[in-house]
Amino acid sequence: MSRFDDMKLIDTVKFIQEKNKLKPELAIVLGSGLGSLADTITSPLKIPYESIPHFAKSTVEGHAGELVFGFLNEKSIVCMKGRFHFYEGYSMDNVTYPIKLFKALGVKTLILTNAAGGINKSFSPGDLMLIKDHINFLGTNPLIGPNENSLGPRFPDMSEAYSKRLIELAKKTASSIKIKLKEGVYLATTGPSYETPSEIKMFRNLGADAVGMSTVPEVIIANHMGLEVFAISCITNMAAGVLNQKLCHNEVTQTANKTKETFIHFIQSLIAKI
């Protein structure tokens, strides 16, 4: 840890390492309704967020708020069972702090998952979408402020924010287990209100295929630190105006729950090949 300058990070790593000797090679962040993957981790050690120094607390339904260490397909992993969001009132530093922790613990690969609204009219609730790129509509960036030189460069490149290697591996994995995947661009807004139909039309014209309220800050900070990133969205509902119905969070969690077996099978199979 000596090469990291952030004293908070050093403090958090010390706390984690006193409780857990496992050195994770891969980290997973689980979004709304997708936490059941963490239940398949073997030899799990669960640490509630509220007990971890300098960690925020997850306040959203469908986010359990646990850091889980253990193994998936013989890979040592650390898993966030629920994440932090900008709309919860947390700073970008709070939102991305776990990703910095993962890097400090020795993680090299980051898998991000989320629940998203489908903008692409060829999508349906329950689809899984590989994220090939994103549009940052949050109006901010987690790297604003003094640069943490011990973590990464002032101006990180984002031309391959999502690893092409892992995207191709994911496609081959899905094909081998007969799971159909969509592929597209994810657009992040702050939330917590859902978008208006006019906003969704605009986002579609901008090239977005799905919309959500997370993931992008984590991807930016991960690229800043040199982690290899893979991300996938569970399309839990169609975005405003696509269908003639109102949106609610219960639909998000219910659809994610219906999709969980396919989602778990895919992620487990992908991890085995990484």
Instruction: State the catalytic residue, choosing from 249, 251, 257, 269.
Output: 249
Instruction: State the catalytic residue, choosing from 27, 56, 58, 63.
Output: 63
227, 108 contact by CB (below 8 A): yes
Give catalytic status of residue 213 as yes or no.
yes
Instruction: State the catalytic residue, choosing from 222, 225, 237, 239.
Output: 237
Give catalytic status of residue 85 as yes or no.
yes
Give catalytic status of residue 214 as yes or no.
yes
Three-state secondary structure call for residue 10: helix
Give catalytic status of residue 38 as yes or no.
no
Instruction: State the catalytic residue, choosing from 87, 90, 265, 269.
Output: 87
Give catalytic status of residue 149 as yes or no.
no
Q: Angle at CA 123, nearest 5°, toward 62 and 140?
A: 60
| Residue 258 neighbours by CB under 8 Å, 6+ apart | 126
30, 264 contact by CB (below 8 A): no
Instruction: State the catalytic residue, choosing from 114, 214, 223, 233.
Output: 214
Give catalytic status of residue 237 as yes or no.
yes
Give catalytic status of residue 94 as yes or no.
no
User: What tokens does 167 get?
Assistant: 């995207």
Instruction: State the catalytic residue, choosing from 115, 208, 231, 239.
Output: 115
Give catalytic status of residue 90 as yes or no.
no
Instruction: State the catalytic residue, choosing from 92, 208, 213, 222.
Output: 213
| Pairing outcome for strands 109-118 and 210-212 | antiparallel
**Integer Cα distance of 126 and 259 in angstroms:** 6
Instruction: State the catalytic residue, choosing from 27, 32, 66, 116.
Output: 32
> For residue 271, with 0-12 CB atoms within 10 Å meaning exposed, 13-18 middle and 19 or more buried, which class applies?
buried
Residues marked as catalytic: 32, 63, 85, 87-88, 115, 213-214, 237, 249
